[in-house]
Amino acid sequence: MAVLESDKLLLLGQSEGEIPVIMDLAYSVFGMSQFEIIQNLALPDFPFRSDLYKRSIFLDKEFDFKKNQKQPVHFGVLHSNVKYILFDHFLTKYGITKDRYITLVDPKSSISPSSSLGKGNLIQPQSTISAMCELGFGVTIKNNSAISHHAQLGDFVNINPGVTLSGFVEIGEGTEIGSGAVISNNIRIGKRSFIGAGSVVTRDIPDDVIAYGNPCKVIRKNERWDKVSAYLKTKNSSTLETNRSMNTVGKVE
Ligand SMILES: CC(C)(COP(=O)(O)OP(=O)(O)OC[C@H]1O[C@@H](n2cnc3c(N)ncnc32)[C@H](O)[C@@H]1OP(=O)(O)O)[C@@H](O)C(=O)NCCC(=O)NCCS
């Protein structure tokens, strides 16, 4: 079993659906059973039915980041736009860079030796990543997904359960693919878009849209990223590390 410098994992943000999934994976990969959940907003707690894990919840301003510099970090949320805001918040306020995020790969998944994963990735059971794929920072691949050869997945991409990507598919930063979608060879899906569950994508899809159906068609603008624009407007984001790679986010209006 792999070993880390600390036996406690810091989870940034709290999603009821995602936290137990991440805990199970951190337990399977690193034997971790202690988790400190750091929220940037005070949110109500949710029922938690497991005695296996010790869980403490803090507001970010109550937590001593200096004292806990060695603790590895992961996201405690799933959606791309929320991950983006949390990454930005903890980077600019507490200096938590991409290097602090660990990647969790379930032992029951298969990763081709010629593929590269990014920091802060989460790869769930029974997923396959074939030859020559490149995954960016904060990418999540849910159960039973097949990522065929030469796929390029940008930062904060989420692949929901049972998705099939054929060869040479490119998915832009912040895009989410709904459960069971099938993407044909050589398709390029833009940034910050959302592909509906069960879609069959046979043509390229642009940035910033919701698209679904068989064949998959653009339905409307993806408003999920508006909250990122609103968030960025409330702060001085000129020094953001992510702005260099996602410099159009602030223009989604
Ligand atoms: C794409 C999605 C976000 C669209 O949501 P929406 O625009 O709010 O859609 P609505 O629920 O308002 O439905 C509007 C219409 O589109 C249809 N529709 C919605 N999603 C569809 C999809 N994926 N494929 C085909 N049609 C869909 C609805 O049946 C409805 O049709 P109607 O007007 O004839 O009744 C959502 O349906 C979806 O697919 N989410 C992904 C869920 C998922 O994979 N979750 C992962 C869990 S781990």
Give DSSP secondary structure letters for 75-106. ES---HHHHHHHHHHHHHHH---GGGBPPEE-
CA–centroid distance, 229 to ligand 1, in Å, is 24
Does residue 74 carry a catalytic annotation? no
Per-residue model confidence (pLDDT) at position 2:
65
Residue type for position 159: I
Q: Amino acid identity, residue 123?
A: I
- Which residue has 């894990």 as its token pair? 53
* Protein residue whose Cα sits closest to atom 3 of ligand 1: 196
Whose Cα sits closest to atom 25 in ligand 1? 213
Distance (Å) from CA 156 to ligand 1 centroid: 22
Q: Does ligand 1 come within 6 angstroms of the Cβ of 161?
A: yes
Nearest-atom index, ligand 1, CA of 195: 1
Provide the terminal-to-terminal Cα distance of the chain, rounded to the nearest Å.
47
pLDDT at 47: 86
**pTM for the full model?**
0.91
Q: Is-contact 133 153, C-beta < 8 A? A: yes
Question: Does 250 sit in the ligand 1 pocket, CB within 6 Å?
Answer: no
Q: Is the CB of 212 under 6 A from ligand 1?
A: yes
Contact 246, 84 (CB under 8 A): yes
Give me the residue spans of the domains in the chain. 8-100, 104-220
Report yes or no: 216 and 201 within 8 Å, Cβ to Cβ.
yes
Say if residue 149 is exposed, middle or buried (CB neighbours under 10 Å; 0-12, 13-18, 19+). middle
For residue 88 the two structure tokens come to 């930005």
pLDDT reported for residue 252: 26
The active-site residue, picked from 79, 89, 149, 150, is 149
Residue 250: per-residue pLDDT: 30
pLDDT, residue 236, reads 58
Average pLDDT for consecutive 10-residue bins of the chain (253 residues)? 76 94 94 94 85 93 88 95 96 94 96 98 98 98 98 98 98 98 98 98 98 98 92 64 39 27
By alpha-carbon position, which residue is closest to atom 48 of ligand 1?
Answer: 160
Please say whether the beta carbons of 76 and 97 come within 8 A.
no
Any idea which fold 104-220 has? UDP N-Acetylglucosamine Acyltransferase; domain 1 (2.160.10)
